[in-house]
Amino acid sequence: MRLIESRATLVLTYAVLIILLLITLFPIALLVLNSVKPAAQIIQNPLAWPETLRWDNFTRAWSDARFGQTMLNSAVLSGLTIILVCTTGSLTAYVLARRKIKSWKILTFYLLATTTAPIQLFLFPLYFGFAKLGLINNAVAVSVVYTAVWSPFAVMLLRTYFLAVPKELEEAALIDGATHWQVFTKVFLPIVSPGILTVALIIGLYSWNEFLIATTFLQRADTSTAIVSFFLLSGQYSSDWGEIMAAALIIVLPVIILFVLLQRRFIEGMAGGSVKG
């Protein structure tokens, strides 16, 4: 759709859009700029161009936040969560997209309702229960919690992809004697794989960035995630902000690269999943 406007309107439009752009980018620019500055220079002027490039901010951040260990923990946790959400989510979406039975509708609404439940509503018994079972500091246990929290979102998003598969394909396969399992794996999965990839990306992003559950359940230094160890590093009193911004950039950089490469998938997944339901 296109609106034809006068030149003055267009100039004003772009002026406002660019101001909003600068407001959005300003804090992110500060992050990048100050990640290579010595702490003393940041205190003088956080806006100034770096006089000397302090690349050792990154090496110190890497060792102080123990990123060698914690980034690996984050990657393992994200990977586990992606696998769990994608397998259980696509199985459920397959059923929900095809059956028009009342009980499936109730299940759909139940899942929708749990996406709006506050984490605090189930966090406390879960924590003390996990503590009793020795599941604190256990990455698999946390990935199951993540799966519970995010799979309704994944199911709703995947459902739209499953709905788009022509009914005739499924019926033809069933008439030819295929089992439902074969229909699911051989007919549906190849067609909906772009949807599964989108879900994997978004779930990976969410688990990489998640704070509340990770900080509650992964407390020991050798099990904590990159975000939690960044939080602890940046909360210390003697703060070297050059080092903190370098640590932040290390965590953010892989995310931004993926986002730039696959922006459409990210935006459609995150915006579509919460609106279309």
Partner 1 sequence: MHRFYVLPTLLINVVIILAPALLTIALAFFRWDGIGMPVFIGLDNFKALWADRVFWTALANNILWTLMFLTVPIGIGLLAATLLLVARRGSMFFQVVYFLPMIIATAILARIWQGMIYSPVSGVNGLLQRMGFPTLDPLTQPSTALVGIATVDLWHWWGFLCVIFFAALRQVPQEQIEAARIEGASFWQLMRYVLLPGIRSTITLMMIMTVIWSFLVFDFVYILTQGGPAFSSEVLSTLAYRSAFYDLAVGKAAAVAVIISIFGLIATAFYIREQSREFEQ
* Chain residues 203-242 in contact with partner 1, contact rule CB under 8 A: 205, 208-209, 211-212, 216, 227, 230-231, 234, 239, 241
Measured CA to CA in angstroms, residue 236 lies from 166, 233, 261 at distances of 57, 6, 35
Which of 7, 8, 27, 168 touches partner 1 by CB under 8 A?
27
- Least distance to partner 1, CB of residue 168, Å: 18
For position 275 contacting partner 1 by CB under 8 A, the verdict is yes
Q: Does 180 bind partner 1 (CB under 8 A)?
A: yes
- Give the residue from 259, 263, 262, 234 showing the smallest Cα distance to 247: 234
Q: Which of 75, 76, 83, 123 binds partner 1 (CB under 8 A)?
A: 123
**Cβ–Cβ under 8 Å, residues 241 and 174:** no
Helix (H) or strand (E) run with residue 46 in it: none
Angle at 77 between CA 72 and CA 78, to 5 degrees: 100
| Candidates 38-46, 51-59, 60-68, 189-197; binding stretch for partner 1 (CB under 8 A) | 38-46
Choose which of 56, 128, 189, 194 interacts with partner 1 (CB under 8 A).
128
Distance from the first to the final alpha carbon of the chain: 25
SS3 116: coil
Binding of residue 144 to partner 1 (CB under 8 A): yes
Nearest CA among 139, 269, 120 for reference residue 203 = 269
**Binding footprint of partner 1, residue count (CB under 8 A):** 98
CB of 129 to partner 1, least distance (A): 7
Told to check if 65 binds partner 1 by CB under 8 A, we report: no
